[in-house]
Structure formats: structure tokens, C-alpha cells
Structure 1
Amino acid sequence: MDVTTDRSFEQVIWWQVYPLGFGGAPIRQAHTPGHRLRRLLGWLDEVVELGCTGLLLGPICASATHGYDSVDLRRIDPRLGTEHDFDDLVAGCRSRGLRLLLDGVFSHVGRDHPLVAQALAEGPDSAAAALFDIDWSDPADPHPRVFEGHDTLVRLNHSGDAAADWVTDVLIHWLDRGADGWRLDAAYSVPPPFWARVLAATREKHPDAWFLGEVIHGDYPDFVTRSTVDSVTQYELWKAIWSSLKDGNFFELDWTLQRHNDFLDHFRPNTFIGNHDVTRIASQVGPTLVPVALTILLTVGGIPSIYYGDERGFTGVKQDRLGGDDAVRPEYPDSPADLPRNDLWRMHAGLIDVRRSRPWLAGASTESLELTNTRYRYRASGDGEHLDVELDLDRPSVLIRDAGGGTIWEHAG
């Protein structure tokens, strides 16, 4: 089954950035306007030299705090800058051949969104009220339904026409301005028919746009089929990578890769070992095992993303509290000269080069050749080609051989 709008997206290696953190914007303090989005312009050449071919941005639209509580989806957050800053970023990506993916929050909006206040003031029959999922059983005290218990995040009414038309308009607006596609935040919490309707309407104007749905668990292929997104986030593999390394249990990874093979028969998942919502891989498994995790990421099928800072071994623990994401969403300096490359950066660049020189790896299936708790040897195969990958947790070490048995990558800790 082929659901990918543009097959060239299967070859993209994303560099994922959380712009508010990257630019040092205040999150919960008083908002200070600035042109922080422009800081990314100074890093685009570094992204290219690392080997990544796409920039995956976190939220950039106006919001109350962290970006996922929007107050205006058609305006750049003043903390990040202006539409002119965005246009320059688009131009910078275009001139370097980088794809640009935006983060769309269409499960909910911030409680401070002016249309929420308008809906509550004007009542259930108003145009604004049609956008939101509001309990009107007590007209004197209406209650907006919220996202996963967060009372600052008001759910859209995904069963109605108003929200579908509104979201379609926002998607097209930013695609018209130069974005190549969208990551759909909390896509799992939205009925798949809503996505199918919205994406069909969007693709009428932008047939090559690419859509990545955030899905944590469940039947990935079924979600892709019913929603018509092109890809989903492969959280199962993310968990299996760090867990198998941390616990010394490669049987978990092998079982998950068997499921991953089934997913690859239907679509190309977005694979990762870090993102803006999870503990840094270096904190999760320790610095000596990061090369093993990275090797897995870049030698199995899928569309990989590298979370900014992971390529330099940044640490940070996600915590379940107010501000608990701050440690994994850090500020970056103005220039790469202020953050020197290290051995891990060079390892990322080398393994990305191995992957980019073998485009068949995007759809590669894996089979186990040797399996113990702490040693795993697997073959990644596709288009008549293969690589053999050896992982050893006791040293720790990695070894990648080509089909002829020659060593193409080796690392011993």
C-alpha cells in the first residue's frame, strides 16, 4: 500500500528543533518580543554539513506559553519574530535544499485563544462555538472540554464542518508561504476521518505536501490508512532502542524490529531516539551507549530525525511537572562557532553519510543473525542490497559490514 504523497520525503533525514527553546524565548515569564527565529539561519549550513536534509520545527505560531497552547495559528509568535523572519527561513532552507516541516497543533488551542472567549460569550449557536467541543448542558456555566486533563488546552470540535474548514485554511496558509508539510501534534487524539477530510482538501492545492502524525501507540498502519497521513512517529521503536540498551535485553529490540518490518510494508515510519517530549538519549542510556542507539536508528528502515543537541551529546531529563520539558528544550548559541563539534557530532555525520549513500535503507527490513541479551547481529536488506550490523553491549561496540563482508563503519567504546 502506497500512501506517500511524495516519495522523495522517504529519503529525508530531519533535524528537529524546538524553536522557542532554541532561541531562548521566555516560556512562562512575561513575553519579550524578538527575532529569535532568525537564529536558525546561522545554523542551516551546519545542518547541511551534518548531513540532514530537512528542518522539522516545533510550534512557531502565537501561543500563551510553550507553543502548544495557540492563540493565533496564522501569526508567528512575537517571541520568535515576524512573517518576514519566516520568509527568510524558508528562503534559507530552499537555497540549501532543505525541506521544511511545521508543527501543527489542531487537537486543541490555548484557553486564551480569543475565539474561545467569543464562543463562551456568544453562546452555543454562534460561529465561534461551532469550532470547539463545549459542554453547553448548563447554559449559565458552559464547560469547554480539554485535552488530556489540561485545563488550559481547549479541544476543537472534530465532528463539525467549522473546525475542519478552519484547520484546512491554516494548513494551506503556511504551505502557501513555503512550508513543505506538517507534523500533526497529538494526531492520535483526533478522529482519523477528520484528518482524511482535511488532508484531502489541503492536497487539492498542495498535492506534494507531506504529513507526519504524532501517534504514541496502537495500530499504526490502520491509523495511516484511515487518516491518510504519510507517516507516524515510531514510538514503539524509540522505546525498544533505549530500553534494550539500558536493560541489556536485545530480545526486546528484536521483537520490536519484527513489528517494524510489518509497518514498513505499509508506510515509512518516522524513527528517532530523541525529541522535544522525551528524556535525552545520553541521559537515558549513558554516553557510552549513544553510538549503539544511533547505529540502530540509522541502519533500520524509516525516516529518521535527529533532535537538536543529541548530535553533541546533550543531556536532559523530562519530568512530569510544570516546566518539566525545559531541560530537553535548551537554548542554542547564535553561531555554530560557539558550540564546537565533538566526536559524537562526527559520528552522526559519518553514519548519516552511510545511510544517505544507501537510499534503499529507508525501506529496509531486518532479520536477526545472532541474538543474546547483550549481543545482537542483524541484517538490513532492501532492493537486493544488505548491510550486516553487529552490536555488543559488553564492550560496547558497533560494526557495520557491507554485502561483501567489508567493514564500512566501526566504533569501540
Structure 2
Amino acid sequence: MHIVFIFLCSLLLSWIQPAPLAAQDLPWWKDASGPAYQVLVYSFADSDGNGYGDLKGLTQALDYLNDGNPATYSDLNISAIWLSPVNPASSYHGYDVKDYKAIDPKLGTMEDFDTLIREAHKRGIKIIMDMVFNHTSREHPWFLEAMKSASSPYVNYYRTKQNGVSYGASGMGRFYKYTRPDGSVFEYFSAFWEGMPDLNLDNTDVVNELKDILAFWLNRGVDGFRFDAAKHAFDPNEMPSGTPTLALNKTFWNDLRRSARRVKPDVYFIGEVLTENLAEVTAYTGVFDGLFDFPSARQVIDAVRRMSGTGFIQAYQNIYSQYSRISAFQSAPLLSNHDQDRYISSLLTSMSLDAVKGLQVEAGDTEVVRSAKAFALTKAKMAASIYQTLPGLPYIYYGEELGMTGRRYKNDDVARRDAFKWNDAGTLPTVTWLQKSNKLEPGQNSLTASAESQMKDPGSLLRHYQSLAALRQNSSALRQGTFAAPSWPGFNSGYLLAWLRESDTQRVLVLHNLDSLPFVAKVPEGVRFVALWNSQQGFLDEKSRQSLQSGVELRLEPAQSAVYEVLNP
């Protein structure tokens, strides 16, 4: 019987076709004018002075992300906001949901949420909700009912252990026992910990509940969903040994997407498959519109750490070839997110610098340390320049553009989720509850320049991110173009990262010089290069764009990046 089950699952998967998109030239995520931005609402902006970030605070801060005026370049030109969970939950982080159709009162009201959507849409910003469908909280009404009685229909809403079944062992998590007051035992599975019981996604009643939840939010104006723990929907450890869990996962997610598209034809599904293993990630390209590009993040981080491009192009060409098999798919490049040490902390650690306080110098720093911190800022700009010029819709983790630090501390992730630093005084809208939690490292982000001060500094990391946003806004090749390595002589050195991005209307050459020496080459025959952007000057207006004819020397200084439009002579 088990062999028949496996065969039927495989056959079912072969019948499943990707959920169709609405008829349009390109789905919005394939031509988004700016990057996406991950926000932890509780850590971002406080509107009322209670120390806790809220939806009103985020709404009031929207102009920092995107002021809605494409003619200005003093914002980040954010095209989509990924809201980490805003539902009532048992934990501060929101990933153990108690009610999928409500807003956490600490974050605001449903009216606040509707206002956020309305104001975001005015600025051309899409809203992406985090949906945690792998598991619920133990305090969710479904689970509370399941704990009351073995005869409750809600018992089958969760993955329970069956007698005589041999379960897989290649996944994550285990079964936990709960003894009811009547003595009956409720043994349920969790991929994470006992407070997050896994839903039984074989149960059509559960799946229909989830579809209804998506429809509820889509009808309120939500534009897409980020799905947590996508590869654990059917985890090997919760299923009988030998079950084709990948096939079940893909069937489940595709069915969910098809249902959501009946409500909103251009709804966006992005999945979290948290691994740097390319094969594991790309297994899901046919059932999600985007996946976080952890494999490329590793390549970018390692290249900048070593300041060497050796092997990068070959590795990325392999990654790109896998992602580009599905025309509507758009990868999501990033440096880090809320489940990882912040990129700046990792970078500073790799340079043997203080990974806690931040990038600014302080009075006691030696000249060696001052020089190293300046180089760390240069490397942070380089990392941003690389990942934001790769194919895909890049995701910025809030505060990354300021160089915020944060790493796992005291066996907890809170320090990775520190309050956004709006100003040096720590006044509104700065969030303060984390500073009182005793879960931040002493001195964390004390040497991170605030958004207010970085806006005034042309050489700041924030201004660099803003310049990259302006570049993307004005380059169809970067938004939607293909990726290829140039074949011109001199553009393939081990310390130079060079690639061509090409759309129907534009072709650009992207250069990142990781060397300690200038890169010098002649403009190839048959083309001319027009400067669009570089990491020293930022995005260039038309009057400032230098045109380099064939045979003219092109020079790129050490640890600098540049983007040129490639035109006929």
C-alpha cells in the first residue's frame, strides 16, 4: 500500500501545472522599480512612545522607504515591504500564530493595517505578508480544542503519531506528548519546538482554512505572501519513511497559489527554503514566484570577504541557469535576514574588528583600526553593489542600509532584530523595548550612525543604498535583464567581477573591482560605454555621463564598482 501511495503522489505531481498568471506583459515582481524591504514591525518605528514598534509608526515612516516621487533620489525607492508576522502570536517574533485573521494588538488595529496598505499603495509599494502555515501556536484555538478531547475533529488538524509507523529521519523536528486530563495521550509533531505544533496539510479541511485565510487578506489589499519554512510543510520526520515529501510539498504550495490566483491573479508567492544548497532551493522554482537566494548570498559574502572574484562568475552562472528555467520566476538576492547574523557583524568578525558596536570610529581607536573600519565600510558598499546588480528582486533587511550590527547572543535571536536607529538622540520614532530586554550585546549599535546623520553624509552607507535604488529605477536591464559574462579580452581577471545585463531595451556592463590595484582595459571594438553609476559618485544624471568610445581606456579604482550602458558606436 505504501508503494502505491508513493506512486500516486508522484503521478499527482506530474499532473500539476504551475498556477497561471494574469495576462500581462510582466508580473510586477519581474520589473519592480526598486528593491523589497523586510520590516520587523515591532523593531522599526514607534508612533506613540510606548517603546514598541507599530503599524502607525511604519506608515508614518513610509517616505523614508519611498516618497512616491520617482524624480527624487533621497529615499530607498522600495517597491515592496515584507512584513514579518503581524498576527497575534505567543512569542514576540510572531512565528507562532494564534489567530490568522487578526492583527496583534501590540502592533495596532485592523484599521491601522488598512491605512498602511492604502498609504503604501499611494507610493507604489506592494505589501507582502508573512504567512506561517507550517505550524501554529499551542494557544491557537484549533490546538486548544485538540488538547481537550481525542474525539475532537481538530486533532486531525495537526500531524499526530500513528502506531506501528516507521517515520523518516532525514528532516527536522520530532513528536511531543501531551497527556489530557482524561488520561488520553495526544502525540503531535513539531519541526521546531513543542510550542509550534505542525499542521496536518494532508487534511483538506486544514488546506481550505488556509486558502480562506489568504483570500481574507487579499481582499483587504495585500499583494503577496512570504511563506515561512516552505520545505517543512511535509517534513520527512513527520511522514512515514520513504514518503516523497518534496512532491507533496510542491503539490501543496502550487495548489495554494492556484487558489490565491483565483482571488488576485497577480498575487506574489515567495518561499523560504533556508539553505545554501542550490538543488534544495531550485526544487521549488516552479511553485513559487520567488525564493530567497541564499546560495548567491554565500558567493557574494565570500567574494567580498576575500576581495577576490575567483570562481564567482562560474558559480553564479550555474545558479542563474537554474533560476531562469521558469520565465515568471524571480530570485530574491539578499545578504541576511532576521534568522541570521546581520551582514555587518559577520563582515566585522571576518576582519577581526568589533562586531557589536558598529562601523564608526571612536576616540580610542588606533590608526590601524580606523583604517580597517574605513575599509569595512567600503566592503559593505561593495557587497550591496554586487547583490543589487544581480538578476532578481533584491531584499534589504531593515537597518542593513545603515550598517546595523546584530548576531545571536545568549542563545537567542533578539540581538539580530535590534531597533532601527532613526536618530542619535534615541527619540521617536526609535523603538526602545529591546534595550530593556537584556538580550542585546552591551554597546550594540552604539557606533552605528543613525538614518538622520547618514542622510547628511554623501559618503554614508545609506546614501550608497539610495544611489543603487536610483540606478535600478532607471535601468530596465537591471530590473528584468538576462545575465552573461562578457567575452571581451581583459574583462575576466580573477579580481574583477564583470557581467552583462540585457533587457529588450537596454544592455549594461556591471563591473566590481575587488583588487587593491586599479582595473584598466580598453573599450572593446564595436561598442561604446556610457557611464550610468559608480560607487564614488552614485547615479549620474544625463549631463554627467561620460561616453567612452571604442579603444578608449576604462579605469576603475580599487574596491570600486561601476555600471555602463553598452551602446553601438
Give yes or no for TM over 0.5: yes
Question: Contact (CA 8 Å) 1:105, 1:184: kept in 2 or not?
Answer: yes
Query: What is the aligned partner in structure 2 of residue 85 from structure 1?
Result: 112
Q: Distance in 2 between matches of 1:397 and 1:5?
A: 47
DSSP-derived class of the 2:88 partner:
strand
Corresponding position: 1:161 with 2:209: no
From 59, 64, 82, the equivalent of 1:46 is 64
Most deviating of 321-330 and 46-55: 321-330
Counting only pairs closer than 5 Å after superposition, residues 257-296 of structure 1 correspond to structure 2 as 257-262=316-321, 263-266=323-326, 267-285=329-347, 286-296=376-386
Alpha-carbon offset, residue 64 of structure 1 = 0.8
Tell me if structure 1 keeps the 8 A contact 2:307–2:514: yes
Query: Aligned partners of 2:534 and 2:232: how far apart in 1?
Result: 42
TM-fit CA distance, 1:23: 4.5
Cα deviations across residues 353-388 of structure 1 (Å, max 9, x unaligned)? 111211232332131554455332332333363222
Query: Aligned runs of 1:330-409 on 2, under 5 Å?
Result: 330-333=419-422, 334-335=428-429, 339-340=452-453, 341=455, 342=457, 343-361=460-478, 362-367=480-485, 370-383=491-504, 385-395=506-516, 404-409=528-533
What does the per-residue CA deviation read over 1:240-282, in whole Å, with 9 as the maximum and x for residues that have no partner?
1112211344234223311232112322111112322222222
State whether residues 62 and 77 of structure 1, in contact with CA within 8 Å, keep that contact through their aligned partners in structure 2: yes
Identify the residue that residue 184 of structure 1 maps to in structure 2.
Answer: 227
State the Cα distance separating 1:183 from its structure 2 match.
0.6
Letter of the structure 2 residue corresponding to residue 256 of structure 1: A
CA 3–391 in structure 1, closer or farther in 2 if over 3 Å, else same? farther
Cα displacement string for residues 15-58 of structure 1 (whole angstroms, at most 9, x for unaligned residues): 21111222479xxxxxx897821110121111112211221111
Instruction: Please name the residue that 1:174 is paired with.
Output: 217
Residue 276 of structure 1 contacts residue 307 of structure 1 at CA under 8 Å; is this kept in 2?
A: yes
Structure 1 residues 163 and 326: alpha-carbon distance in aligned structure 2, compared to 1, 3 A threshold: farther
Cα distance 1:90–1:384, how it changes in 2: closer, same or farther (>3 A)?
A: closer
SS at match of 1:86: helix
Counterpart CA distance in 1 for 2:42 and 2:230 is 22
2-side partners of 1:116 and 1:224: how far apart? 32
SS of 1:172 mapped into structure 2:
helix
* SS of equivalent to 2:195: strand
CA distance in 1, matches of 2:30, 2:18: 12
Taking a change above 3 Å as real, the CA distance of residues 323 and 206 of structure 1, as seen in their structure-2 partners, is: same
Cα distance in 2 between the residues matched to 1:233 and 1:116: 31
Contact 1:54 1:100 in 2 (8 A): yes
Q: State the alpha-carbon separation in 2 of the partners of residues 306 and 384 from structure 1.
A: 27
Does structure 1 residue 135 correspond to structure 2 residue 248?
no
The two structures have a TM-score, normalised by structure 2, of: 0.65
Which of 82, 91, 95 is residue 68 of structure 1 equivalent to? 95
Q: 1:195 aligns with which of 235, 253, 272?
A: 253
Could you report, residue by residue, the CA deviation over 1:177-230 in whole angstroms, capped at 9, with x for unpaired residues?
Answer: 1111101111121212111222222221222211111123434443122xx221
Aligned counterparts of 2:204 and 2:519: Cα–Cα separation in 1: 53
What is the aligned length? 401
| Equivalent runs, 1:297-316 vs 2, <5 Å | 297-316=387-406
Find the partner of 1:212 among 270, 289, 311.
270
Aligned match for 1:56, one of 82, 98, 111: 82
Letter in 2 for 1:118: E
2:281–2:291: 8 Å Cα contact kept in structure 1?
Answer: yes
One-letter amino acid of the structure 2 residue matched with residue 44 of structure 1: L
Q: Deviations over 1:68-101 (max 9, x none)?
A: 0111111111111111111111111122121111
Taking a change above 3 Å as real, the CA distance of residues 84 and 398 of structure 1, as seen in their structure-2 partners, is: farther
Do the aligned residues in 1 keep the contact of 2:81 with 2:128 (CA within 8 Å)?
A: yes
Relative to structure 2, which stretch is displaced further, 294-303 or 243-252? 243-252
Contact 1:111 1:152 in 2 (8 A): yes
State the SS of the aligned residue for 1:389: strand
Name segments (4+ residues, structure 1) moved above 6 Å: 1-4, 32-35, 396-399
Identical-pair percentage: 23
Equivalent in the alignment of 1:145: 189
In structure 1, runs of 5+ residues without a counterpart are 26-31
User: Displacement, 1:408?
Assistant: 2.2
Residue 272 of structure 1 aligns to a residue whose secondary structure is coil
Please report how far the alpha carbon of residue 62 of structure 1 lies from its aligned counterpart in structure 2 after TM superposition: 0.6
The whole-number CA distance in structure 2 between the counterparts of 1:305 and 1:163 is 31
SS of 1:51's equivalent?
A: coil
- Looking at structure 2, the residues matched to 289 and 33 of structure 1 have their Cα atoms a distance apart, in angstroms, of 33
In the other structure, the counterpart of 1:15 is 37
Instruction: Report the Cα distance in structure 2 between the residues aligned to 1:397 and 1:374, rounded to whole angstroms.
Output: 10
> Given the two structures, how large is their TM-score scaled by the length of structure 1?
0.88
Structure 2: gaps (5+ residues): 1-16, 67-74, 164-176, 178-182, 234-248, 348-375, 423-427, 431-449, 537-558, 560-569
Partner of 2:416: 327
Aligned alpha-carbon RMSD (Å): 2.9
Q: Is the 8 A contact 1:379 1:388 kept in 2?
A: yes
Q: Secondary structure at the match of 2:337?
A: coil
What's the secondary structure of 1:142's corresponding residue?
strand
**Corresponding residue to 1:238 among 292, 297, 317:** 297
